Structure 1
């Protein structure tokens, strides 16, 4: 049993995720979270002032895991920008696909929470496009990519691959042809970015 002295925001978020998985977003309550933790719901509210704030924090934590994985690719030394871009897009797709297929109940829950936490989602999208921008800029500096406006190009790459990371497309990710389709889109984008493609 957890006491208020040992109760942390991280532990509350872990318990909230468990409750959301069990009951879904419509039925999960702060009282349920407190019950899992063995504390009063007031103890939870000391860390998160409202139910909405708690749900936003859980959503941010979920999205943040993906950001960390992708950041490792951006920061990787001794890789070309093309290798980084290809790896970044593949990691984003595989991470989203794994979440959708590995824990469908929780994925469905987060799909609901994401619509509620628009500010959190907006920040997440800005972070992802920012990571892509860094890769494109690196490619321009290294003479690999032709991109007069790296931010615009990064946003275009993100938008062009939407089908492989937007949860609305999750049912398509089980199709046998999806990996080939993903590779075809990536190759088309890379071909357009390569300096050698400009005559």
Structure 2
């Protein structure tokens, strides 16, 4: 193994881990495979991530953070809350569908990793609900929405739309009429929120 000329960073390790997981799958990917891909010793990887579990957790966190970061701009925008709500829900659904369609092997791998890292997934869901809550609160503040509990409402909207963004439903995302079903559901939810 030739030593790498680039500085070994956590980000480089995570990128390599993602590629190793894509190539070998979660059952066969090892820290040694990641080190080999980087041209370093496995001890160098362990200096950044103390265990294989910690490495897999970090990869899962990185994957989920991409979704949160992509949606954060919509959640924080200063414009019509109804349009933001629609765009945020559509953005979440499209991000998950794109991941499933563009890289099905890695998407399946992350399904396994998400099952192993339930605390990371739980924190991700808290972040998503917080973004959605901020949109509902903005709607209440402007008088566009009416609800006594914006957080409970955000959670209900999230759960009501789960078949369009929860990876457990990925096999359904390509069926005919899915976009029309999505639009119908979002229209119904928004009508229910209007003041």
After TM superposition, the score normalised by the length of structure 1 is: 0.95
Q: Aligned partners of 2:164 and 2:50: how far apart in 1?
A: 35
Q: Is the contact made by 1:129 and 1:158 (CA closer than 8 Å) also made in structure 2?
A: yes
* Unmatched runs of 5 consecutive residues or more in structure 1: none
- Following superposition, which runs of at least 4 residues in structure 1 exceed 4 angstroms of deviation? none
Q: Which residue of 1 aligns with 2:43?
A: 42
Q: Aligned partners of 1:158 and 1:137: how far apart in 2?
A: 15
Structure 1 pair 177–141 and aligned structure 2 pair: CA distance change class (3 A):
same
Q: Is the contact made by 1:4 and 1:39 (CA closer than 8 Å) also made in structure 2?
A: no
Q: Which residue of 1 aligns with 2:154?
A: 154
* Unmatched runs of 5 consecutive residues or more in structure 2: none
- CA-CA distance at 1:125 after TM superposition: 0.1
Q: Is the contact made by 1:4 and 1:43 (CA closer than 8 Å) also made in structure 2?
A: no
After TM superposition, the score normalised by the length of structure 2 is: 0.97
CA-to-aligned-CA distance 1:144-199 (integer Å, 9 cap, x gap): 0001100110000001001011101001000121000000110010000001xxxx
The aligned runs of 1:99-178 (5 Å cut-off) are: 99-178=99-178
Q: Aligned partners of 1:41 and 1:92: how far apart in 2?
A: 36
| CA RMSD, 1 decimal | 1.1
- CA-CA distance at 1:2 after TM superposition: 5.5
Q: Aligned partners of 1:5 and 1:188: how far apart in 2?
A: 53
Q: Which residue of 2 aligns with 1:6?
A: 7
Count of aligned positions: 194
- CA-CA distance at 1:4 after TM superposition: 8.3
Is 1:83 the equivalent of 2:89? no
